[in-house]
Structures are given as structure tokens and as C-alpha cells.
Chains A and B, each alone.
Chain A
Amino acid sequence: MIHTVVMISIICIAVAILALTYRVIKGPSTPDRVIALDAIGINLVALIALISIGLDTNAFLEVILLLGILAFIGTVAFSKYLEKGVIIEHDRDR
């Protein structure tokens, strides 16, 4: 029973990632693309959890934490770039 449900869920997540990829390609503004890429990263976390259930191994569970952290850092860096033009500011302008 669980393996059928895992297959169904993997297909649902794959369709969701495909839909978000459409928004990445078409999105009229840059923040659209950043939002869609962030959501793709979050969905990849779910995909990894489902795959590790399907393969019945707990070797991939570090990847969940790592992808969450990387998606957050990437989104924060890009939104700072969009807002201020730089990601890491200098202390003062000389």
C-alpha cells in the first residue's frame, strides 16, 4: 500500500516541479523566477523524502536538511541583490 502511495506522490511532486519550471521560464519579472526556484527547491526536499521511503533507506536524510538550508540562503541572497544591488555590503564607502 505504501509503495503505491509513494509512487502517486512522486508523480504529483514531479508534475508540481514541471509546473513551477513553466513559471521559471515564462515569468514576466525576476521575482517570479526567484519564487518559482525557491518552491522547486522546497519540492525537491519532499521528493528526496519520498525517494528515501521508496528505497527504504535512511542514507539520504542529510540531503533534506542541506537542501532546505541552501534554498533559503539562495533566496535571501537573490532578494538582497534585487533590493540593494549588492549582496554583501561594505562597512562604509571610502
Chain B
Amino acid sequence: MIEIANILIVVFLLIGAFLSLVAAFGVIRLPDVYTRNHAASKSATLGVMCILIGALLYFYFIDGYFNPRIILGIVFIFLTSPVAGHLIGRAAYNSGVKLWDQSVRDDYKEVSEKKKKLAEKGNR
């Protein structure tokens, strides 16, 4: 029983560490803000959630102590990290950060230009 728990904990910790490392390399190597945001807000979240699941299993199986705070942490990161990624991506678009020069289409451009015109009319 304890050996199975050990193997489970080790697998979760290694998967989490690997995913965090992959996310960091994605943030270094990808070409523009939006792709970097994609890498950071997906893989880093999944990696950290795997490591927290490993910690939860460790304290449950080895210490015999069930810790609800780790579960709260997992749920909170799962809920808030994509929201933070969405907000910072939208802020980057609206503050005028350019897309990668090889990206082919931008469907949000006309809508945002229309919105900008409406806002200027409202200010006058």
C-alpha cells in the first residue's frame, strides 16, 4: 500500500515539475505576447496542480493527515489562473501590443476599431 502511494506521489511530482519546466521554456522561446500567455497560463497551471495533488497524497498517505487547504489551493488556482491569463491578454491587445508578424488573421481588429470610434464619439 505504502509503495503504491510512493509511486503515485513520485509520478505526480515528476509530471508537475516537467510541465512547469516546459511552460518556462515556452515563455522564453515563443514569438509574441499571446503565444507566451498561452504557454504560461496553461502548462504552469497544470504543473502546479499536479505538484499540489502530489503534496496532498503525501500528507494523506505518509502522515495520515487529510489537508483541506491544499484542495482549496488546487481549486483556487484552477479557477483564477485562466481568468488572469484572459485579463492580461485582453489588456495587451487593447494597449496596442502587436501580434507576431507571421500570424495570418485578426478577427478582433474590426470590432475593436469600431468600439474605439464609438468611445471617441461618446467623449466628444
Contacts and interface: CB of A to CB of B under 8 A. Distances in A.
A interface SS class = helix
**B interface SS class:** helix
Contacts of B88: 31, 34-35, 38, 75, 78-79, 82
B40 A35 contact: yes
Interface of B: 6, 9-10, 13-14, 16-18, 20-21, 23-25, 27-28, 33, 36-37, 40-41, 44-45, 47-48, 51-52, 54-55, 58-59, 62-63, 65, 67, 69-70, 72-73, 76-77, 80-81, 83-85, 87-92, 94-95, 97
Contacts, number: 166
In the complex, which of the residues A1, A35, A62 has the most CB atoms of chain B within 10 Å of its own CB atom? A35
Contact of B55 (A30, A52, A79): A52
